[in-house]
A and B are shown apart, each in its own frame.
Chain A
Amino acid sequence: MIQEKLLMMRFNRGDHGALRNIYALYKDDLVSLASALLHDKTSAEDAVHDVFAELISKQATLKITQNLRQYLLTAVVNSARRQYHLHIKRPQTSLDAENAPDIETQSPPESPVMFDEQQRHLENALSALPHEQREVILLRHFSGFRFKKIAQMQNVSINTVQGRYRYGLDKLRSLLNGELL
């Protein structure tokens, strides 16, 4: 926490070294979130790369005032969303159980995205959710964001976010039932 505050202050003052330390501190968190969102490590790393490229270009004028980790996670979610719409978007999977992907046969993404079986199952299941639902689930559970904040990020009402959350969670339960739950 203190380290984060120090880094944020240094960043806000335009300290060049601060960004290197910020990257070192948060890179795995950010890549983990982006990978879970995009189910593709290359795109995930592109999303993280874009976030840092933007931070570097705006450092002279940008002042981060909120929690640094939350700021970065938010930036990665936005960047991942752009990646998703640009490169990955595909027809959304229906919520019907019969259309759900077979998580046993789903091919694993490139190594080392999946470093264990549990994570592979979970990421495959997450990838079966519509992007908006996946985003809500990950923002809620991985990033620890409140629904209100997620609603602002997605530019929808809290009710919509809560609906996406419920649907997403129900589907995850259904997909993971018997495997991880």
Chain B
Amino acid sequence: MNATDKIDKLIKNLKTTASPELDRRIDTLLERSKQSQTRSLNTWRKIMKNPITKFTAAAIIILAVLIGVYQITGSIDGSGVAWADVIRPVLKAVSVEYDAVIDETGDDPQRFHDVVVGPRIHRSYAEGPVQKAIIDTETKTLFLLVPSEKTAVTIYFRNLPEKLNPMSQVQNILLELQDDPGFEVQETGPETIDGQAAVGFWATHPQKELMIWADPVTSIPIRIDIKDVLAEDVICRNFQFNSQVSQSLMEMEVPQGFVHEKHMLDLAGLPEANLIEGLRFYAKLNDGLFPEDVSVLHCIQPDKDIQDRIETLTPHDQEALQILMQTIRQFLLLQYYRGPGQWHWIGTGVELGDANTPIYWYQSVDSSTYRVIYGDLHVEDATENELPKAGN
């Protein structure tokens, strides 16, 4: 070994351990930042206190998370033998159970347990007002049980996408995406995950990323980290495939003594006028600026200023709150149900009243032209060639 190589080795081996004092200082920084952090799911909790909006809000969140999870899970693909072994249980499963947590390391982790059998999902929550939710994608019904209010809620969805059977959706997409050139799977080798030996796979797609760990002996998935659902981490663990599931678990039965509310929720796009009023309302809350984006995350975790202002809404503002809810609903649905229509949000930072700057354009399913909404909320028709170039 020559002198340069020796120096290289010596330098590579330099090791100075951070002192407990530095740990404490960084901890203090992080704690301070945590206290002032602007993002929080509390907004939804506040909205859910509102008797008019709370169940609609819950329904939308549940649906958005549900669809998000399955869309992303469905983006798995790969060609390696080991990977094929890992996804085989998913492809062959009739039912699956798992524990899931959203944002496990964050300030407000949300934990739930899912049992998925064919078109139905039973989701039980570790905490929060909703104890359990049963979603039947065949009958397009969501059932919520809220013991703290002795209330059961059934929400009937209109215009829910047809292809939503959770098990078959995952399985179909797995098969359909075999040749997707944008999809890559990298094996990460043996690791210890949650105290268990595992082999890892890093699966990426232009829109999604996930990490899946499987038992090196049985190839059964033991943990999946999903990225991009509500822009938070979702970790699924403790998978059980094809377990015996009691039929009663999926029954939407109202316990004795509970009030039973029934609602209808139309998932089709709202009338344009509603969207416009919602945008106006949001911009007014936001010092005259349109939102930075219309992602699910931004819709349910708006900036702290917006959260604070929502909190100040009084019962007299019910109409305003309804408008906000409708707008959020519209955006959530646009995120997940683009369907054959198209839309683009280009309103980041645009001021309310700016008549020259487009903020949003969309194409209805049955239309050959486009509608472009401007900063002053006037709307113009446009052909494809006339559409604004920027967009998300």
Residues of A participating in the B interface, judged by any CB pair closer than 8 Å: 1-2, 5-6, 9-10, 13-21, 23, 27-28, 30-33, 35-36, 41, 44-45, 48-49, 52-53, 56-57, 59-60, 112-113, 115, 118-119, 122-123, 137-138, 141-142, 169, 172-173, 176-177, 180-181
Among residues 215 to 274 in chain B, which have CB atoms less than 8 Å away from a CB atom of chain A?
225, 227, 231-233
Asked whether any CB of chain A lies closer than 8 Å to the CB of B390, the reply is: no
A56-B227 CB under 8 A given contacts A16-B37, A123-B14? no
Asked whether any CB of chain A lies closer than 8 Å to the CB of B79, the reply is: no
Which residues of B have CB within 8 Å of A41? 16, 19
Asked whether any CB of chain A lies closer than 8 Å to the CB of B94, the reply is: no
- Of the candidates A16, A137, A177, the one whose C-beta lies within 8 Å of that of B33 is A16
A35-B16 CB under 8 A given contacts A2-B202, A19-B30, A49-B22? yes
Besides the known contacts A30-B18, A142-B14, A181-B6, 13 further A-B residue pairs in the complex with CB atoms under 8 A apart: A13-B232, A13-B297, A15-B105, A15-B106, A16-B34, A21-B105, A27-B23, A31-B22, A35-B16, A36-B16, A52-B29, A112-B19, A141-B8
Which residues of A have CB within 8 Å of B15? 28, 32, 115, 119
Asked whether any CB of chain A lies closer than 8 Å to the CB of B207, the reply is: no
- Of the candidates A14, A48, A56, A181, the one whose C-beta lies within 8 Å of that of B18 is A48
Supply 9 A–B pairs (Cβ within 8 Å), ascending by A.
A16-B34, A32-B16, A35-B14, A49-B25, A113-B16, A118-B13, A119-B13, A119-B15, A173-B3
Which residues of B have CB within 8 Å of A176? 3, 7
Q: How far is the CB of B208 from chain A (nearest CB, A)?
A: 11
Asked whether any CB of chain A lies closer than 8 Å to the CB of B277, the reply is: no
* Beta-carbon nearest neighbor of A51 in chain B: B26
Asked whether any CB of chain A lies closer than 8 Å to the CB of B351, the reply is: no
Interface of B, helix, strand, loop or mixed by DSSP: mixed
- Of the candidates B6, B17, B37, the one whose C-beta lies within 8 Å of that of A180 is B6
Cα distance A1–B104 in the bound complex, in angstroms:
21
Does the CB pair A45–B10 fall under 8 Å?
Answer: no
Which residues of A have CB within 8 Å of B233? 10, 15
Which residues of B have CB within 8 Å of A112? 16-17, 19
Q: How far is the CB of A128 from chain B (nearest CB, A)?
A: 14
Cα distance A119–B13 in the bound complex, in angstroms:
8
Q: How far is the CB of A160 from chain B (nearest CB, A)?
A: 20
Asked whether any CB of chain A lies closer than 8 Å to the CB of B103, the reply is: yes
Q: How far is the CB of A89 from chain B (nearest CB, A)?
A: 21
- Of the candidates A2, A17, A33, A180, the one whose C-beta lies within 8 Å of that of B10 is A180
Cα distance A45–B24 in the bound complex, in angstroms:
12
* Beta-carbon nearest neighbor of A23 in chain B: B26
* Beta-carbon nearest neighbor of A15 in chain B: B106
B11, B12, B17, B38 pick with most chain A CB within 10 angstroms? B11
Asked whether any CB of chain A lies closer than 8 Å to the CB of B188, the reply is: yes
Does the CB pair B7–A2 fall under 8 Å?
Answer: no
Which residues of B have CB within 8 Å of A21? 105
Asked whether any CB of chain A lies closer than 8 Å to the CB of B300, the reply is: no
* Beta-carbon nearest neighbor of B202 in chain A: A2
- Of the candidates B7, B17, B231, the one whose C-beta lies within 8 Å of that of A169 is B7
Asked whether any CB of chain A lies closer than 8 Å to the CB of B97, the reply is: no
Asked whether any CB of chain A lies closer than 8 Å to the CB of B4, the reply is: yes
- Of the candidates A2, A16, A122, A181, the one whose C-beta lies within 8 Å of that of B188 is A2
Q: How far is the CB of A171 from chain B (nearest CB, A)?
A: 11
B17, B25, B104 pick with most chain A CB within 10 angstroms? B17
Cα distance A180–B1 in the bound complex, in angstroms:
12
Does the CB pair B14–A28 fall under 8 Å?
Answer: no
Asked whether any CB of chain A lies closer than 8 Å to the CB of B21, the reply is: yes
Asked whether any CB of chain A lies closer than 8 Å to the CB of B54, the reply is: no
* Beta-carbon nearest neighbor of A57 in chain B: B33
Which residues of B have CB within 8 Å of A60? 38
A31-B17 CB under 8 A given contacts A16-B30, A48-B22, A180-B6? yes
